[in-house]
Structure 1
Amino acid sequence: MSGIRRRHSTRPSAHRKTVPAAAGAIALALSAVAGVSAAAASPGAAPTDAATFVEAPHPAAVLADLNQARLADVISRGTSRVSIGAGRAAKDEATAERSARATAQIADAIATERAAEKVARAKARKAAAAKKAAQKAAAQLAANQADPQAVARRVMGEYGFGADQFGCLVQLWTGESDWNYTASNPSSGAYGIPQALPATKMATAGADWQTNPETQIRWGLGYIKASYGTPCGALNFWNSHYPHWY
């Protein structure tokens, strides 16, 4: 309909927001102030009884209270966030510490295992070397026992004897023991290729003097050099004595 202005309803619609408590307090305070002022200005108005007069709060005070409440809420929320953050940080720190301990334990276990493996490999190498050395020594001993004269020819130079002395040495020890490293004189106890007397003298050349021709030969060459100078000198002395000895 034209020309008719529709009055807006003063009732709050359901979708309108509710006025905050602080704003309502401000409105109430302003309304009270307005009411008091109007009563005072109205002619013939009855004097207001002091006992029934209610002082309305000042709008600035209400606003200050509102701001203080908001600040307290902000502080409370911030404190709560800080507390939650601190809790999470502590939890993360504990988790990191447990992870670090686990990592350290794993590293220690790996290091221990590697050290054990290293020791085991070293022992295996040592055992293999010892076995190889024993096999080599056994093979050398067998060769020495099979051909004692070859041993004498090989080591004579270490005592300063040339190849010209080898023939005299062969004759000397052939007469004494026939180059038998187990030869033993039943009457005197002389033993071995050089017929050492007593036999234990040869222990100065090696603990294996009873079974190793090389040990006996080295001792015999040392004895000849010290007593006769050369194998030929020892042979000359041997030939000049009967029964033969040197």
Structure 2
Amino acid sequence: MMTNLFSVFDPSANYNMPLNWASSLLLIIAILPSYWLIPGKAVKLVSNITLKLHSEFKTLLGPSANVGSSFVFIALFMFILINNFLGLFPYIFTSSSHITMTLALALPLWFSFMLYGWINHTNHMFAHLVPQSTPTALMPFMVLIESISNIIRPITLSVRLMANMVAGHLLMTLLGNQTAIASNLVLMSLIVTQILLLTLESAVAVIQSYVFAVLTTLYSSEITSH
């Protein structure tokens, strides 16, 4: 019995084992056969997407970025995308709708960027706290504002992804709970609405994965480009 509206997102599992989090590993199971099988259309599609993302992330990172750093963000994009899409299938736990996972992705990346920047580019990090042409009287306030903006970045990244995934799933759950008491006409309307919401959620899954990866890339470029 559903105790509250958000209980459908509770990561519950049987046998005292967190088997629902294992859905995040389905990506590895799906990718492994591509190493010894003849590449099909799906593998070629993933390769084309990877090449397109590589060229775009490489442009965002700039010429001063480390070689191969764009592949980190490509892997991040693919990981979030697969988890978002898996959540659209019945009886599969949506791991990307929990702050536990999204914050675990955003916080280590942000902390590594900050640690790398303050150790290797200390002057650049101090200069970044005060924008150009800032009046002298406003400099302390700008330092405070920029510091707070940098600190809340992992929170905004994780909450943005979690909130967008929860909102769509919650709306689909609410509409799905009305099918048992609905008449035939209302039932047909609910089915059409669910199909439209499923299409919208598929687009949201791609957009949110792309936004998370692009914002992380931009945060990294602020550290490396100077």
Global fold match (TM > 0.5): no
TM normalised by structure 2 equals 0.24
Which has the larger helix fraction? 2
Q: Which has the higher contact order (CA 8 A, sep 6+)?
A: 2
TM normalised by structure 1 equals 0.22
Q: Which has the larger radius of gyration?
A: 1
